[in-house]
Structure 1
Amino acid sequence: CAGLVCAVLCWPGLCWPGLVCAVMAGGRRAVLCWWPRLLLEAVSCWGCRSRARGQAVLDGSIHLGRGFTLTLVTFLGYGAYRNIPKCLVVRAIEKVEDIIEQADYLYGTGEVEKLYQLLIECNSSENGEILWRLARASRDLAQLKTTSTENKKKLTYEALTYAKKALEKNESSFAAHKWYAICISDVGDYEGIKAKIANSYVIKEHFQKAIEINPTDATSIHLMGLWCYTFAELPWVQKKIAAMFFSTPPSSTFDEALQYFTEAEKADPNFYSKNLLMLGKTFMKLQNVKNAILWLNKAKNYPTRTEEDVQVQKEAAELLKSMGVK
């Protein structure tokens, strides 16, 4: 059945928006029986130039009694999906909600490159939900160790472009505000200390806006804590430079940073290894050894799923060692 689906997807001149199937509670056998009939009917209609009927077959569902709708990705399974060329995938799921569903699936499985390839096909989209996901995908690709220095810079600026466009399309999206702030921060690494300090005001504003729109988003709260920690820890020289350019340079305290990191952990416990690490580091700055050890141990023992988790685990172990803890 999967072979037939792939063969039909390659049918010359066809475009398959919103391809769905209905599966009876009885199981997969019903799908295997009905999918060839559905697809052959659709191809027949398109071949007879009855595009409206062919489209209706594809956009509709098969009524097999009790059942539910599945997307093409769900039906084929991820293994089969990986082998479908990206151009066919994009043609097969033109509907925005299907693209978003597929993008979120790839993000959840850590398929950074495939996610980017999927979304870059939509770089002219006017949909804010797709655009901030494209900004995130561009940024994640830039962060990979395998990405060259030249491409890293290109992707970093590309991510900011998409994030800005996403925000223009939907100012009420907390995710658009969050990723716009993240991307501005990344670009600052290429533009010098003055630009970085100037951008910090904008970054703070958008993190706060993201939290205002969605007070339960642990990532936005964590990032606001990271902003506070960064300026609380700012070296004396950089503080002097900031004072030269700005009458009221950005500033914060470790207590303020701790408040955000703690709130992030309450919103979504153990959601992010770096939040555990930052709690430990902040308690160290506040001379609270007991709590510092507690959170650094949690960071050290956090399951490693990403490159960042590995680095967090390593840093936590080094900090514990410096405190005399094995």
Structure 2
Amino acid sequence: MHICPIDELEIPQEKDDILYEVDELLSTFRVKDTYEAFEKLQFMYEDGDESIEVLFRLAKFCYNNADQLGTDKDKIQMLEMGKEYLVKVYETDKENFLAAKWLAYLSLKLLAVLPFRSKMYEARKTKAYLDRAIALHPMAWYLQHLRGRWYHEFANLSWIKRKISVCLGCTAPEGTLEEAIDNYRSAQQLFGDSLRNHVFLGIALFEDGRKFAAKRYFHRALTFKTITETRIKLNRIAEYYFWRC
């Protein structure tokens, strides 16, 4: 009887090793690498592994790769697929922070590409995911910031869009500048070195008529190093408002 030599035996990888490889691939943000990570995760998922460790990484893939797609329709499909991986976990385990957090991320990104009526429906889900994630992890400053952005957007929703939402049977959610400011300030107390939070807190205060208070945050924002395209854009916004305070 032929015995297979030991060096020809295929030793299955441990789950932790596979997930480590997946994280390494996802962190490159290169399309080829991220799709290789997706294939590994999808194989585990189809093999019956529906653990949160696999599901949230599948959701993360969808979140990161939606931006690479050309049309809003394709982006929506990708983001909805990411949500599908996590909704079942969320509905059966409301204490699962990873599920709530990544559903909030996916839902927020969906708001940017959904048509108006669908956006109004999705916005309520977004808020519920954010509220749940913050309740589970109150020290997560970035979630406080994102909830501030949610309030900020709906505080600025025009009366005509609100009227349209009523006519379409999808009444827009309510949000106030004060609620946005409170969440930005909560984020500020938890982490005081976020350029983005400084800028949006300043804008909310400016729009609320508190220009003196806003100027302080714009001034601080202008002291941050601008080494990325996003930071340069935020710096320009801060400078624009600073000279109008």
1:300 counterpart (184, 199, 222): 222
- SS of residue paired to 1:123: helix
Deviations 1:93-141, CA, capped at 9 Å, x for gaps: x44434444555666xx62126623431213522323332332333233
2:39 pairs with 1:117? no
* Identical pairs, percent: 21
Counterparts of 1:315 and 1:129, CA distance in 2: 38
Q: Residue 284 of structure 1 aligns with which residue?
A: 206
Q: Residue 317 of structure 1 aligns with which residue?
A: 239
2:83 pairs with 1:163? yes
Deviations 1:248-270, CA, capped at 9 Å, x for gaps: 64111111111111111222232
Structure 1 runs not aligned, ≥5 long: 1-43, 56-90
Counterparts of 1:318 and 1:185, CA distance in 2: 26
1:155-194 equivalences under 5 Å are 155-169=75-89, 171=93, 172-194=95-117
2:184 pairs with 1:253? no
Deviations 1:192-235, CA, capped at 9 Å, x for gaps: 21111111111111110111111111122111111111111111
Q: Residue 149 of structure 1 aligns with which residue?
A: 70
- When residues 252 and 189 of structure 1 are mapped into structure 2, their CA distance, relative to the original with a 3 A threshold, is closer
Counterparts of 1:319 and 1:275, CA distance in 2: 14
Contact residue 123 and residue 131 of structure 1 kept, 8 A? no
Deviations 1:66-99, CA, capped at 9 Å, x for gaps: xxxxxxxxxxxxxxxxxxxxxxxxx8xx444344
2:185 pairs with 1:262? yes
2:151 counterpart (228, 243, 266): 228
- When residues 95 and 245 of structure 1 are mapped into structure 2, their CA distance, relative to the original with a 3 A threshold, is farther
Q: TM-score, normalised by structure 1?
A: 0.61
**Residue 242 (structure 1) shift:** 2.2
**Residue 274 (structure 1) shift:** 1.9
- SS of residue paired to 1:261: helix
2:131 pairs with 1:208? yes
2:61 pairs with 1:137? yes
- SS of residue paired to 2:30: helix
2:119 counterpart (177, 196, 202): 196
Counterparts of 1:134 and 1:305, CA distance in 2: 30
Contact residue 89 and residue 99 of structure 2 kept, 8 A? no
**Residue 176 (structure 1) shift:** 2.1
Q: Residue 16 of structure 1 aligns with which residue?
A: none
1:2-17 equivalences under 5 Å are none
Counterparts of 1:140 and 1:304, CA distance in 2: 23
- When residues 235 and 248 of structure 1 are mapped into structure 2, their CA distance, relative to the original with a 3 A threshold, is closer
- When residues 149 and 215 of structure 1 are mapped into structure 2, their CA distance, relative to the original with a 3 A threshold, is same
Counterparts of 1:205 and 1:219, CA distance in 2: 16
* Range with greater deviation from structure 2 (132-141 or 252-261): 132-141
Structure 2 runs not aligned, ≥5 long: none
Counterparts of 1:254 and 1:106, CA distance in 2: 40
Instruction: Name which structure has the greater RCO, CA cutoff 8 Å, separation 6+.
Output: 2
Q: Residue 46 of structure 1 aligns with which residue?
A: 7
- SS of residue paired to 1:149: coil
Contact residue 101 and residue 133 of structure 2 kept, 8 A? yes
- When residues 134 and 300 of structure 1 are mapped into structure 2, their CA distance, relative to the original with a 3 A threshold, is farther
**Residue 190 (structure 1) shift:** 3.9
- What is the aligned length? 232
- When residues 300 and 129 of structure 1 are mapped into structure 2, their CA distance, relative to the original with a 3 A threshold, is farther
